[in-house]
Structure 1
């Protein structure tokens, strides 16, 4: 099955063909049976990809920070943990943490961290009940000595945290081939199939119903290993009891309703993290059924989601609900990492470049800005135009009484993100490469790394070293090492933002290709062969909520560089935190002439190299863009945010602006903590 090659710009959406009030199911017919579709791309085993350069340093920071030490610094996970037989945390936070700590342990080949995570994995695998049920000991088991069986399944506990632990075990198996894992999963899924009619998915919490696609995902992965038909029967049953994300994404009522309503009715359908997890639902259903209407539903839903709720850094508002596209709305960190995982899975099933582009955009822009340099603190909600970070209520759909949802801290806001943030970089690093159906390799996301795997009909082992400072530079070099020549298909993504890529092999130009496709190079690769990919990056501007404009170059969005003043505080319930304030003016508008001819006015300069000790902060920002701008005196804070100035239908602010121009400096969004990224336009 060949990848779908599309050149449609990611966020260009024409909202046509919508009938207001329509509630018809987007998939009115029963899905096809026994039509399982093999994925276009298969993730490589965990450990086959070795991060290098700045990406390796990012993972090392995580190892030295909370990813490597959450069980030591966070009491909820630290004390008497339910996932090691205790009475402590037995719900989502320990599996959330392991979902990032396990891939980190094997990406870094860190024996200390491997030993640490194995304590939880071994207890889980070794304490499966005879019925197939697994997880922390239940109240009935502890206090009354009961055994959980299909007959008394109501003595069990929530399905949801088990879905996360199954994701953990899947990754662990690809790294180790531990023979305990597949029988463990099979026994559990047989138990689940037997009892779901009595103890349905939503019996304990609506979280399980809203996130059932994660359960289906793992069952269908196991099917690719064992070909047990009961797993597909289970997948159908789970899908029938879970939130109908495929239907909602394809039916535009849902996303429009989410934009219009912010009350308590059906709020779980608008919850940003649920939406992020639900994005994979159409791809998962398509894989099981082969029904291409699921892919249409995903295309419609994702495009509509970004049109009505999208923000310049590539993610949708989720504070906690979907909340429109105003650049003063927030986004929860969990929504980013879960969206990334959904896209990584969707890419594998569909081979659709739209989701590769979307993954790249949110990874290099939205993800890095929401954690501290040492990876010991996080921000529950980030704001696109974030001119200060402080305690407050803000215009979020979930205002906390303690006003801690915008500051940086270990325990500020809900601690789900403290546990869950670790899967973002680790899973991105493990999905830089995919295997193709014909035993080839596909480079679908770019960062410095080295991959070793067997390729071609002969199964020849090859190592490819990817040398690059991407996303900051436009060159990606691939150096091949093989004991014998290897003939295989090498696929490379050409991002949609790239007008024309240049591919050279051993110094000679091979071909030029337009952006928005995955290209295939079929040749015999020899030891020390070198392929170079040049992706010229031009500066452009894009249109966002309330007629704002963002400056882009390649995969990066650029924001106003503001000197940061950090202030440490303490809150009794949520501990230490940081507020951050700008030390220079932020209220600037871009000139209309710049929007009309960005390459003329926007000057790009590399101000420092990208080294192996790179950190996503102002001190390390390697690229700066200078732009002419004018100050808007009337653009001031209101209720602790900077509401977007009113424009006319042509997108021009008509209020008073400074007469003189000022040269402002922009840096990569991911390097900022306070900033303007969605600029008003002035004459």
Structure 2
């Protein structure tokens, strides 16, 4: 194995774009002080886990090193999500909790460089559980550079040990072998910003991780790629490569490999694998199906919340975009964020699902169970249905979307807004050019964004124009509107010194996506639309220490068995009162955007009383037509998102 490592190559290819350090981008508008989405998250389960949840609670930790001992997964996940949450909201309580966690872990690093509870024990040392912790530590350094002298030397000591372990075949088990790319990206951050004369060992460790890890370029090759549910297929590679979250991990393996192999084939394989994944397992909500393992296209199969936040944010779609510059990755990230992410949590963010369904007519203990690898409790909204990983992992979604919404060019001469929404940023570009940007919008619940740019010196500012925009225009300082003309997805603006106001209008048409069994899904702009099924709610369980942490059963209270006539789809937009969105906006009936359509009742089979069968082909109306209203997918908790069709008579 050692002979495969070229010790003379010490060049890491720069990314196409460079993300700003944590804290440089802040949420504004509805993401902060109107619909208060990060505030809702902090006031919900994410912000209170440290108070009572046994995997990460301080009381358990003090009593028995619980969340340090859970550096294998739970503590690392929690830390990785709560670091950016605390920084973006400047929340002193959360920042104190994450600082305490960081201090404890670093204070207990042993003389060999190891980080984790295996110190002075006979427990095997596996590398993977440390990787989310390393991401969190990096973010803390970005947000507070005074921590550099404490954190970076500790990371180098750990890298030195990990390199030795890898050369000896140690530290490897199935999860380490499939998630090696996380460590590669940590190493690349160190190489880019804090090499400290250790470039050779950093690159050698990157290469050892690739050669001891699962071969993602082969997993994503078309000849090997599964074209449907995998539970009855033989995987030619280690079983965990078809695990849904690991597929998301693998998507960033190849661009991370490209940075030290310099092989364009790595980027090409990542792009093709991305397309295959969504072609054969994709969902109109932007994500793909994997109820533990890849699950095909059927609308009742599930998608794990960990998959949504892992595939969506930071080092997956965002990392792919920053390395390759291909706008398809940014488009997909935005769709996932505004659809699949809020759909799998209640509006108050106190409960979450393990699995969400595209067509979801009940959230309850399911009999029969449609998920071959997960339990029947998987789509209940609760504290930890099925597995607890999503409880500690989900908070990273929103803050990392926000943090990666702006990037700079490699030469630091230009700034680009990648994701659309209400943000502000302050950064210093090359030549000491101080730039401040504020984006005033209620996007994705509006087509208009007003951006104010203040700069010390002239520079080029870019805004991503999504692929779904039709007839988009821009106006600079109230001048006559002009048509957008993006190049590779980016609209450029020559911004002079001083203050410039850019008004973007980015309308979209209603589009209809073909789905299995002749069914269709409805989109407009970044939002996917579904029928929001009215429901009753029943408390199934309540946490003894925190009464707001409950398990909820949702049951439909009206008919949902409809076919729609796509030719009758009509978009409706109401202006939010006072220009502000209701809070929390991702909840039933609160969206200012809706779509109406002519529908008719049909016969649509169900299994037991828990999930809908596949949409019937060639559905026949069983009653008179009616108008139904479709809402943004993220606001629905029970829903039909893929409909049979019919042709209404005039």
What is the CA distance between 1:656 and its match in structure 2? Answer: 2.8
Deviation at 1:82, TM superposition (A): 9.0
CA contact (8 A) 1:605 1:623 kept: yes
State whether residues 29 and 423 of structure 2, in contact with CA within 8 Å, keep that contact through their aligned partners in structure 1.
yes
Is this contact kept in 2: 1:84–1:123, CA < 8 A? no
330, 339, 343: which one aligns with 1:369 = 343
Which SS does the other structure have where 2:288 is aligned?
coil
The CA deviation at 1:285 is: 0.8
CA contact (8 A) 1:450 1:466 kept: yes
Tell me whether 421-430 or 539-548 shows the greater mean CA deviation.
Answer: 539-548
The residue that corresponds to 1:89 in the other structure is: 70
Deviation at 1:422, TM superposition (A): 0.7
Which of 498, 519, 540 in structure 2 is aligned with 1:527?
Answer: 498
Which residue, out of 382, 386, 389, partners 1:409? 382
Change (3 A) 1:309 1:389: same
Q: 1:510 to 1:91 in 2, by over 3 A?
A: same
| Equivalent in 268, 289, 292 of residue 320 of structure 1 | 292
SS of residue in 2 equivalent to 1:355: helix
Residue of 457, 467, 471 corresponding to 2:440: 467
What is the distance in 2 between the residues matched to 1:222 and 1:239? 17
Q: Where does 1:499-648 land on structure 2 (aligned, <5 Å)?
A: 499-509=470-480, 511-514=482-485, 517-570=488-541, 576-591=550-565, 594=566, 597=567, 601-606=569-574, 608-609=576-577, 610-611=580-581, 613-638=583-608, 640-647=610-617
Q: Alignment partner for residue 448 of structure 1, among 418, 422, 444?
A: 422
Greater shift in the superposed pair: 380-389 or 578-587: 578-587
TM-superposed CA distance for 1:434, in Å, is: 0.9
> 609-618 or 165-174, which moves further after superposition?
609-618
Cα pair 1:85 1:137 within 8 Å, conserved: no
State yes or no: 1:424 paired with 2:406: no
Q: What is the distance in 2 between the residues matched to 1:601 and 1:676?
A: 16
Matched, 1:212 2:172: no
Alignment of 1:644-659 (within 5 A): 644-647=614-617, 653=618, 655-658=619-622
**Aligned pairs for 1:71-220 within 5 A:** 71-78=50-57, 79-81=59-61, 85=65, 88-138=69-119, 140=121, 156-177=124-145, 178=147, 179-202=149-172, 205-220=173-188
Distance 1:362 1:200, change over 3 A: same
Give the equivalent residue in structure 1 for 2:309: 337
SS state of the match for residue 379, structure 1?
Answer: coil
Give the match's secondary structure for 2:321. Answer: helix
Deviation of 1:339 after TM superposition, in Å, equals: 0.2
C-alpha deviations, 1:52-99, integer Å up to 9, x for none?
122111111121222222121211222543999567534200110111
- Aligned match of 1:309 in 250, 259, 281? 281
Counterparts of 1:205-284 in structure 2, within 5 Å, are 205-227=173-195, 228-256=199-227, 259=230, 261=232, 266-284=238-256
Following the alignment from structure 1 to structure 2, what is the Cα–Cα distance between the partners of residues 235 and 29? 10
C-alpha change, 1:495 and 1:91, in structure 2 (3 Å) is same
What SS is found at the alignment partner of 1:621? coil
1:264 positional shift? 9.0
| 1:59 pairs with 2:38 | yes
CA contact (8 A) 2:464 2:491 kept: no
Match of 2:265 in 1: 293
Is residue 397 of structure 1 aligned with residue 372 of structure 2? yes
Cα displacement (A) at 1:660: 2.5
Q: CA RMSD, aligned part only?
A: 2.6
Tell me if structure 2 keeps the 8 A contact 1:83–1:94: no
Alpha-carbon distance in 2 for matches of 1:292, 1:163: 26
Q: What is the SS of the residue equivalent to 1:618?
A: coil
CA contact (8 A) 1:39 1:350 kept: yes
**Aligned-pair distance for 1:645?**
3.1
What corresponds to 2:359 in structure 1?
385
Shift of 1:525: 2.9
Report the CA distance shift for 1:573/1:280 in structure 2 as closer, same or farther (over 3 A): farther
Q: 1:561 to 1:129 in 2, by over 3 A?
A: same
Contact 1:54 1:614 in 2 (8 A): no
Structure 2 residue 625 is matched with structure 1 residue 661: yes
The 1:480–1:513 alpha-carbon spacing in structure 2 relative to 1, beyond 3 Å, is closer
What per-residue deviation string (whole Å, max 9, x for no partner) do you get for residues 203-228 of structure 1? xx311111111111111111112341
Partner-residue secondary structure (3-state), 1:180: helix
Q: Is 2:363–2:610's contact at 8 Å kept on the other side of the alignment?
A: no
**1:451 to partner: Cα distance:** 0.5
Deviation digits for residues 157-215 of structure 1 (CA, Å, limit 9, x no counterpart): 2211111111111111111111212211112111111121224342xx31111111111
C-alpha change, 1:371 and 1:263, in structure 2 (3 Å) is farther
2:452 and 2:500 in contact (8 A); partners too: yes
Count of residue correspondences: 624
Q: Deviations over 1:541-588 (max 9, x none)?
A: 111233321111100000012222111112899984111122221111
Q: Compared with structure 1, are the counterparts of its residues 432 and 612 closer, same or farther at alpha carbon in structure 2 (3 Å cutoff)?
A: farther
SS of residue matched to 2:603? coil
| 1:38 partnered with 2:6 | no
Change over 3 Å in CA distance of 1:395–1:82 after alignment to 2:
farther
TM-superposed deviation, 1:438: 2.8
Q: CA deviation at 1:635?
A: 4.1
The separation in 1 between residues aligned to 2:7 and 2:275, in whole angstroms, is 24
Partner of 2:406: 433
* Separation in structure 2 between the aligned mates of residue 634 and residue 520 of structure 1, nearest angstrom: 46
Q: Residue 152 of structure 1 corresponds to which residue in structure 2? A: none
1:346 aligned to 2:320?
yes
Sort the Cα spacing of 1:572 and 1:368 in 2 relative to 1 into closer, same or farther, 3 A.
closer
Q: Distance in 2 between matches of 1:680 and 1:132?
A: 59
Question: How far is 1:234 from its partner?
Answer: 0.5
How much does 1:276 deviate?
A: 1.4
Distance 1:304-1:264 versus aligned 2 partners, 3 A rule: closer
Deviation at 1:355, TM superposition (A): 0.2
- Contact 2:348–2:584 (CA under 8 A) maintained in structure 1: no
Q: TM-score, structure 1 length as denominator? A: 0.86
> What is the CA–CA distance in structure 2 between the aligned matches of 1:196 and 1:175, rounded to whole Å?
31
Q: 2:611 and 2:453 mapped to 1: Cα distance?
A: 51
Shift of 1:246: 2.4
Change (3 A) 1:434 1:105: same
Q: 1:267 Cα deviation (Å)?
A: 3.4
Gapped regions of structure 1 (runs ≥ 5): 1-27, 142-154, 648-652
8 Å CA contact 2:54, 2:60 repeated in 1: no
Q: Which stretch shows the higher mean deviation, 542-551 or 356-365? A: 542-551
CA distance in 1, matches of 2:509, 2:109: 55
- Secondary structure of 2:539's match? strand
